[in-house]
Structure 1
Amino acid sequence: MAQHNELGEWGEQFAAEYLIKKGYEILERNYFYDRAEVDIIAKTNAGDSMVCVEVKTRNSDFFGDPQSFVSQGKIKLLVKAMDAYLMEHDISLETRFDVIAIIKNKSTEELTHFEDAFYHF
């Protein structure tokens, strides 16, 4: 497996563990719909809303912060996939879209959680 794939899988696991520690319930990982993939679908600790989480893991911020790699096209695909998930499971809760940005290398292991992330872009 390519090293960048291993880093991405590690980042998604790290993000899922972080969310669980924060009280989120992980409902789905790597949900695919059409051409879109949602890394993590979770329910908030209060259980009153859904969270669609895009995880971006990089080994440095040399080319930019990890969260800056979420394009407008990716946002459209996430919205489409999350809408399909909600309809498929007959869920009518409020939904927000978060980004978890991770930088992981030999000297750093840094996670930043952007709630309602699309407002940040």
Structure 2
Amino acid sequence: MQVVGAAILNDQNQILATQRADARVLGQQWEFPGGKIKAGETPEQALTRELEEEFSVQAQVGPAVGPTFKHEYDFGTVNLTVYYVRLASEDLRLMAHGKVVWCEQTQLGKLDWAATDRQIAELIEQEDLTQLSI
């Protein structure tokens, strides 16, 4: 399945990490918010829609964090592409996640990430976020 995620940055260049609800597949693991790309959508359109559905916020989608990462889970193959994103507001309504936290870039590796998201977190830890333009 083709999935898109958001590495959401705030004004301090902290990154939003979201924890999957207990009852969901991969419950309690951390991930970058997002979801499946629907037929006819670009990845950017899918991400904008997903963030509106999950948090009730408007998003500005920037460049991709890196390549698309693939992981085989017991429920199927996930192909994940994550984009840097800025939000119009940090006032988030939690619709699909158990918990959210704003992380310093250097702290991302301390979270228990879902497998595909862990690869993205490792890339972000190496980025110079001060040079990023969204």
In proportion to residue count, which structure has more helix? 1
Higher RCO by CA contacts (8 Å cutoff, separation 6 or greater):
2
TM-score scaled by length of structure 2: 0.26
